Structure 1
Amino acid sequence: MRAAIVHDWFQGFHGAERTVWELLPLFARQPDVFTFHAARELLPAPLARAIVRESRLARLPGVRQRGHNPGRWRWLLPYMPIYFERLDLASYDVVVSSSHACAAGVRTPVETLHVCYCHTPMRYVWMPDADSERVRGPAALALRAAAGWLRRWDLRASRRPDVYVANSTAVAARIRRFYGRDAVVIPPPVAVDEFHVRAERERDHFVWVHRLVPYKRPLEVAEAFRELPDLRLTMVGIGPLAGELRRMLPPNVTLRGWIEREELVELLATAGGFIHVGEEDFGMSMVEALASGTPVVALRRGGALDIVRDGVDGVLINPPATPAAIRRAVREAASASWDPNVLRRRAEEFSAGRFRERMAALIATRISSGPVR
C-alpha cells in the first residue's frame, strides 16, 4: 500500500510538524511527503528526506526560509490552493492531509482514501476577528483582500476528504460549523516521554512559555504578577512584544529568550504551575506541563477544555483573561495541593503512542469499508 502525506508547510519542528513525524510510522512503506515549503534544516533528517516535492516558487532566493529567518514565502498564500490542487496523487492508496490552510484541498482518485487531519479550518478566512491578533501589517491587508475567494475555495475543497479528524473538540465544532462535516477527535501527539516528574518543586515559581504575541496574553500575565509579590514568574519566549514587555516587567517577573528543550524540561519539572491563557486549537505545551507533574492555569476555551479538568489538572479561567482573573487563578493554583502523578497520568492520554494507535485504527477501518465517494 502506497501512502502520501500532504502538509501545508514546514517552518520548524513544532506541533503540526511533529504530527506529520508521528504519521510516518503508520505505514509499512515509507510515505512520500508533499508540502508547499520546507525549512529542511530544522527538521529531523528522516522527515526531511521523506519530502519529495515542494513549490519551486517558495524556494526562490529571497522568498524561501533560511533557518529561523522566515523569508517571504507566506506571501504566496493566494497561489497555494492552485499548487495543492495540481499535485499528482493518482498512484497512492492512502493520502493523509495535515491541514490548517490549503493541504486538505488536494484532489485524489475515487479509490484513494483521503483522511484529513485538521489542525483548524483556515483561521484567516473563517475566523478573521479571532485571528486579527495573530496576523498584522501588510500581510493582514493581503489576507483580507483574498479572504472571500479563499473562503469559497476552501468550502469547495472541504468536500474532498473522505473523513475529517480534528485535533480537539473545539476544532471539530468549527469543522461542523464552517464545512457541515462531522469529524473524529484524535488529539495530536505529545512527546510526554521527554518530560519527567521531580519530587522537589518551587511552589512559588510559575512558568509561562510562548511566543510574545498578543493572543498569548504576555502583558496581562506579567501585570497579574505585579500584585503577587510573594510569587515569582519566569517568562520564556521571543516575539514582537518583547520590548514592550521588558519595559513593564514587575520585579518578581523574569523574561528570557528562547531556551533549549533540555532546559525547558527542567524548568517545567521544578515549577509550581504553568500559565497558558491564550485560546488555542489544542495546546501541546499544557500537556508537556502536566507530563512534568505541573498544574496548569488555562483559559476555559479552545483546546484547554480537552486537556485541563478544572480543579483536577489545574485551574480554568472564564474569559476574558484579564490580569485580575489571572491573578485569582494563580493564587488558587498556588494554594492548592496537586498530585504530580495524577497530572502525569492525564498527560499520558495524549502521548505519541496513543495518537498512532488511534490514527492506525481509523485508517484500517476506513480501508476495510471501501470507497465512500
Structure 2
Amino acid sequence: MKVALVHDWLTGMRGGEKVLEVFCELFPKADIFTLIHAPGSVSKLIEDRIIRTSFLQKIPSIQKNYRYSLPLMPRAIESFDLSGYDLVISTSHCVAKGAVPGPNAKHVCYCFTPMRYIWDQFDSYFGPERAGWAVRTAINALRSSLQKWDRASSSRVHHFLADSNYVAKRIKSFYNRDAEVIYPHADTEFYTTGPSPLKEDFYLIVSALAPYKKLELAVQAFNNLGKRLKIIGSGPSLASLKAKASPNIEFLGWRSNEEIRNHYRACRALIFPGTEDFGIVPLEAMACGKPVIAFGEGGALETVQENISGVFFKESSSKSLAQAIQSFEKISWDPSKIRGHAEAFSRKNFVASLKSFFDKILSA
C-alpha cells in the first residue's frame, strides 16, 4: 500500500509536526507532500523522508513570508499528483485537507482545526488592531471565496479525525462532517518531574506570541498583581506585549526543550490564557508535575482537571485571570497526581488509538 502524508508546511517543530512524526513511524515508507519546506527545520525522522513541495517553494523568501501566500495555497495544495497512492493522510490546520486523492484512494484528515483566520477567529488575526488597512481590505475581499473552497474541499476527505471534541464541533459547524476524536500526545517521557521537586516564585507562559493567544490578558493581570511572570516564546506580538509589560515580566525568547523543561519544573504554575484547539503545552507542564491556570474554553477543558491539575478562569479578562491566580494560591497541589493525569496523553496511547483506527478503516 502506497501512502502519502500531506502537511501544510514544514518550517519548524511544533505540535503539528510532532503528530506528523507519529504518522511517519506508523507508515515508514510514506512520502511527504507539503507547500513549503525549510530544510533542517524539522526532526530527522521527517527530514529523512522524500519531501515534495509545491510551486510556492520557488517564491523568494517564502520560508519567512509564507503566510502572505494564503490566497495561493488552495491551488498549491491541489497541484500535488496523488493519483498513485492508496491512502492519503492529511495533517491539517490550513489547506492540507484540500489535497485531491486518487479515485480509488482513501483520504483521512487529522484536523488540528479548520482555518481559524477565515472562520470564527478572523478578527483575532485581521482586526483593526492586528493588521493594516491594506491587508484587512485584501483579506476581506478573499474571505468569502476561501470559505467556499474550504467547505467544498472537505468533501475530499473520507474520514475526519479531530484532536479534541472542541475541534470536532467546529468541523461539524463549518463542514457539516462528523469527526472521531483521537487526542494527540505530549512527550511524557521527556517532560517529567525530575530528580527532586523544584519551585521558584514565578509563573510561566510558553507560547507563540500571536494575537489569538490572548497574552495581553496575562500581561495586564501580572502588571496589576505585581507577581513574577516569565514568557518563553517569540512572534509578531512581542513588541506590543513588551511595551505594556511591567518590570516583573520577563521575555526570554525561544529556549531549548531542556530549558523549557527546567522552567516547567521550577515555576509555580503555567498560565494558559487563550482558547486553544487542544494545547500540548499544558500537558507538558502537568507531566512535570506543575498545575495550569487556563481559560475555561476550548481544548483546555479536555486536558486540565479542575482542582486536581489546575484551575480555570471563566471570563476572558485580566480581572478574571487575576482572581483565578489568587484562588490557585490557596490550594495545595500534589505533583504526583498532576503527573498521573498527564500520563493518559502519552505517545504510547496516541499510537495505539491511531493503529486501532487505521486497522478498522483499512479492513472495511
Give the TM-score normalised by the residue count of structure 2: 0.92
Distance in 1 separating the partners of 2:118 and 2:231: 31
Shift of 1:42: 0.9
Contact 1:195 1:291 in 2 (8 A): yes
> Does 1:331 pair with 2:326?
yes
**Aligned residue type for 2:2:** R
Task: Give the AA of the match of 1:261.
Answer: N
Q: Which has the higher contact order (CA 8 A, sep 6+)?
A: 1
- Residues in 2 aligned to 1:325 and 1:54: alpha-carbon distance in whole angstroms: 45
Tell me which residue corresponds to 1:219: 216
Alignment CA distance shift 1:47-1:248 (3 Å):
same
Partner SS, residue 302 of structure 1:
coil
Q: Distance in 2 between matches of 1:120 and 1:160?
A: 16
Tell me the CA shift for residue 237 of structure 1: 2.3
Match of 2:154 in 1: 158
Deviates more, 1:207-216 or 1:311-320: 207-216
**Percent pairwise identity:** 34
**Structure 2 vs 1, CA of residues 99 and 244 (structure 1 numbering), >3 Å: closer, same or farther?**
closer
SS at match of 1:341: helix
The Cα shift of 1:257 comes to 2.0
Structure-1 residue corresponding to 2:168: 172
Do the aligned partners of 2:97 and 2:109 also contact (CA within 8 Å) in 1?
A: yes
Show the counterpart of 1:16. 16
- Whether the 8 Å CA contact 1:201–1:272 is kept in 2: the answer is no
1:50-94 deviation digits (Å, cap 9, x = unpaired): 14310133233x2332xxxx1x33332222222222322122221
Between the aligned partners of 2:51 and 2:252, the Cα distance in structure 1 is: 38
- The one of 284, 289, 309 aligned to 2:285: 289
SS in 1 for 2:201: strand
Alignment of 1:312 onto 2:308: yes
CA contact (8 A) 2:292 2:309 kept: yes
Please name the residue that 2:199 is paired with. Answer: 202
Separation in 2 of the partners of 1:310 and 1:363?
Answer: 33
Give the Cα separation in 2 of the matches to 1:78 and 1:279: 26
**Structure 2: any 5+ residue segments left out of the alignment?**
none
Higher mean displacement: 341-350 or 50-59: 50-59
**Would you say the 8 A contact 2:267–2:290 is kept in 1?**
yes
| RMSD over aligned Cα atoms | 2.0
Question: Quick check: 2:112–2:162 contact (8 Å CA) kept in 1?
Answer: yes
Change (3 A) 1:203 1:327: farther
Deviation digits for residues 223-269 of structure 1 (CA, Å, limit 9, x no counterpart)? 2223434x422222223333343344334332222222211101101
Shift of 1:130: 4.7
1:111 to 1:8, Cα distance in 2 relative to 1, 3 A: same
Deviation at residue 197 of structure 1 after TM alignment: 0.6
Secondary structure at the aligned position of 2:117 is classed as helix
Checking the alignment, whether the CA contact within 8 Å between 2:54 and 2:79 is kept in structure 1 is no
Q: Distance in 2 between matches of 1:92 and 1:135?
A: 41
Asked if the contact 1:295/1:314 (under 8 Å) is kept, the reply is: yes
> After superposition, where does 1:214-293 map in structure 2 within 5 Å?
214-229=211-226, 231-293=227-289
Aligned partners of 1:39, 1:165: CA distance in 2, in Å? Answer: 27
CA apart distance, 1:41? 1.6
Instruction: Answer with 86-95 or 358-367: which moved more.
Output: 86-95
Q: Residue 19 of structure 2: SS of its match in structure 1?
A: helix
Instruction: Specify the code of the residue in structure 1 equivalent to 2:268.
Output: G
In structure 2, the partner of 1:33 is 32
Aligned to 1:362: 357
Q: 2: distance between equivalents of 1:296 and 1:358?
A: 26
| Conservation of the 8 A alpha-carbon contact between 2:166 and 2:277 | yes
Aligned residues of 2:55 and 2:76 also touching (Cα < 8 A): no
Return the match for 2:83 from 82, 90, 94: 90
Q: Distance in 1 between matches of 2:279 and 2:250?
A: 23
Separation (CA, whole Å) in 1 of partners of 2:362 and 2:178: 18
Shift of 1:343: 1.2
In structure 1, what is the Cα distance between the partners aligned to 2:210 and 2:107?
Answer: 35
Tell me the TM-score normalized by structure 1.
0.90
| Residue of structure 1 equivalent to 2:123 | 129
Q: 2:55 is matched with which residue?
A: 56
Match of 1:189 in 2: 185
- Alignment gaps of 5+ in structure 1: none
Note if contact 1:295-1:333 (Cα within 8 Å) is conserved in structure 2: no
**More displaced 10-residue stretch of structure 1: 294-303 or 343-352:** 343-352
Could you tell me how far apart the structure 1 residues matched to 2:99 and 2:49 are?
19
Shift of the 78–255 alpha-carbon distance from structure 1 to 2, 3 Å rule, reads: closer
The amino acid of 1:124's aligned partner reads: Y
Are the structure 2 counterparts of residues 250 and 76 from structure 1 closer, same or farther at C-alpha, using a change threshold of 3 Å?
Answer: closer
| 8 Å Cα contact 1:58-1:73 kept in structure 2 | no
Distance in 1 (alpha carbons) for counterparts of 2:249 and 2:96: 41
Cα 1:85–1:245 change in 2 (3 A) is closer
Q: 1:224 to 1:358 in 2, by over 3 A?
A: same
